[in-house]
């Protein structure tokens, strides 16, 4: 029997088949979550279809209710000027420079170290974060993330961030008077061998994407341990929240490769956020952003999100539907 080597054209079509297969797997992994979103709130579907297009978004932003400026008291972020944050959000989609008091991020880090988390968003994969390697061996799968879901509400320091009046005030001045709390979550991203594309996609890691959980959104992120280049820093594409190439308005894909995004929004536009434990930043998540897979150190992150529609109970803690 003679075995013929595939020529260049065959190799290209095999590559295209593999790429399409991976794209389909990436779409398929989110479908159960989307179906559940529609069942829970039928208004989610028109939002999901239309909120990616600039004309529909502009129309929706017109409905933002003006809010009266008032003095914010009892915030843990003393010295941060709300208007500076809102101005940066409007121009860049990102403001970095919120700093958590030491006792707050230390209390959350201590709480999560002795609380079991759920691997890859799956409640069947429960493990102690300090035993990540053993858990991978026990379950026989790479564990890319560990989420706390509602368990984080038992941590007083996390609740103090969630309820901080400055965050609510910034959200109201950026999103309008309809702003409401829609997410609170804390999770680990772990360095791991061979995470699948589907797991990376669910964990929003490694590919630029924009969020479509609501018409208008704002996400505050806090690093609860130091984050350097090897700890899976968050990356945000400055300015991409207010302009959008047509192909990115009509796309069904959640994740987009870096070259494709930076070709449109500029090589200089991504900001990689590294910093000490306690660093906080806030972004308009309609702008392209991503987490990166940690190379050597686990990352511990908190998110407090605001939107303008009633929050979904499941999404409040960032939980997708896993099959």
Ligand X SMILES: O=C(O)CCC(=O)C(=O)O
Interface with ligand X (CB under 6 A), residue from 136, 211, 214, 283: 211
Longest dimension (CA), the chain: 83
Exactly one of 129, 255, 280, 291 binds ligand X (CB under 6 A); that residue is: 291
**Rule CB under 6 A: is residue 234 a binding residue for ligand X?**
yes
Which residue's Cβ lies closest to ligand X?
Answer: 291
Residue 82 or 207: which CB sits closer to ligand X? 207
In the bound complex, what is the minimum distance in angstroms from residue 27's beta carbon to ligand X? 17
Which parts of 63-92 interact with ligand X (CB under 6 A)? none
Give the whole-angstrom CA distance, residue 104 versus residue 223.
Answer: 11
Which CB atom, from 82 or from 315, has the smaller least distance to ligand X?
Answer: 315
- Among 274, 284, 303, smallest CA distance to 210 is for 284
* Integer CA distances (angstroms), 270 to 104, 240, 259, in order: 29, 10, 12
d(CA 260, CA 152): 36
318, 147 in Cβ contact below 8 A?
A: yes
As measured in angstroms, the least distance from the Cβ of 41 to ligand X is 19
Strand partners, 181: 306
- Least distance (Å) between residue 194 CB and ligand X: 19
Site stretch for ligand X (CB under 6 A), options 12-20, 63-71, 153-161, 285-293: 285-293
DSSP annotation of 299 reads E
Can you tell me which of 176, 255, 285, 294 binds ligand X, judged by CB under 6 A? 285
Give the nearer residue to ligand X in terms of CB position, either 67 or 212. 212
Q: Is the four-CA dihedral 113, 163, 321, 307 of positive or negative sign?
A: negative
Q: What are phi and psi of 237, to 5 degrees?
A: -95, 100
Contacts of 239 (CB under 8 A, 6+ apart): 91, 92, 93, 265, 266, 269, 287
Query: Can residue 289 be called a binding residue for ligand X (CB under 6 A)?
Result: yes
Stretch that binds ligand X, among 93-101, 114-122, 162-170, 284-292 (CB under 6 A): 284-292
Count of residues engaged in binding ligand X, rule: CB under 6 A: 9
Instruction: Determine contact, residues 310/41, Cβ cutoff 8 Å.
Output: yes
Among 204, 231, 240, 269, binds ligand X (CB under 6 A): 204
Residue 56 burial (C-beta neighbours within 10 Å; 0-12, 13-18, 19+): middle
Q: Which of 287, 315, 159 shows the shortest CA–CA distance to 167?
A: 159
Q: Is 320 in the site for ligand X (CB under 6 A)?
A: no
Nearer to ligand X, 74 or 171 (CB): 171
Q: Which stretch binds ligand X (CB under 6 A): 21-29, 109-117, 164-172, 288-296?
A: 288-296
- Binding to ligand X, residues 89-108 (CB under 6 A): none
Pick 146 or 291: Cβ nearer ligand X: 291
Query: Is there binding between residue 311 and ligand X (CB under 6 A)?
Result: no
Q: Is 147 helix (H, G, I), strand (E, B) or coil?
A: strand
Cβ of residue 305: shortest distance to ligand X, in angstroms?
8
Residues between 131 and 190 with contacts to ligand X, criterion CB under 6 A: 189
Q: How far is the CB of 4 from ligand X (least distance, A)?
A: 45
The DSSP element (H or E) to which 21 belongs, if any, is helix 8-28
271: nearest Cα among 250, 299, 246, 241: 241
Residues that bind ligand X (CB under 6 A): 189, 204, 211, 234, 285, 289-291, 303
């Amino acid at each position: 029997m003679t075995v013929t080597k595939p020529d260049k054209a065959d190799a290209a079509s095999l590559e295209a088949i593999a790429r399409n297969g991976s794209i389909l797997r990436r779409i398929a992994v989110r479908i159960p979550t989307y179906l559940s979103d529609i069942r829970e709130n039928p208004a989610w579907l028109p939002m999901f279809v239309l909120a990616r297009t600039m004309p529909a978004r502009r129309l929706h932003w017109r409905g933002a209710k003006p809010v009266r400026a008032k003095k914010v008291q009892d915030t843990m972020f003393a010295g941060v000027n709300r208007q500076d944050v809102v101005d940066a959000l409007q121009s860049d989609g990102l403001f970095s420079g919120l700093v958590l008091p030491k006792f707050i991020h230390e209390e959350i880090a201590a709480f999560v170290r002795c609380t079991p988390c759920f691997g890859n968003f799956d409640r069947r994969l429960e493990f102690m974060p300090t035993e990540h390697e053993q858990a991978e061996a026990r379950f026989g799968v790479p564990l890319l993330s560990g989420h706390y879901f509602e368990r984080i509400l038992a941590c007083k320091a996390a609740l103090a961030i969630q309820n901080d009046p400055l965050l609510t005030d910034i959200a109201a001045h950026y999103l309008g008077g309809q702003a409401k709390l829609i997410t609170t979550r804390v999770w680990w991203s772990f360095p791991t061998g061979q995470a699948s594309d589907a797991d990376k996609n669910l964990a929003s890691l490694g590919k630029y994407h924009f969020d479509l959980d609501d018409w208008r959104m704002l996400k505050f992120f806090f690093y609860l341990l130091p984050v350097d280049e090897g700890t899976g820093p968050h990356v945000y594409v400055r300015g991409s929240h207010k302009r959008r190439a047509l192909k990115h308005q009509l796309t069904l894909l959640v994740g987009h490769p870096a070259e494709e995004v930076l070709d449109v929004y500029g090589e200089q536009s991504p900001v990689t956020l590294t910093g000490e434990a306690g660093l906080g930043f806030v972004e308009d998540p309609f702008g392209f952003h991503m987490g990166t897979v940690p190379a050597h150190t686990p990352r511990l992150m908190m998110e407090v999100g605001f939107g303008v529609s009633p929050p979904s109970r499941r999404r409040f803690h960032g939980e997708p539907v896993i099959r």
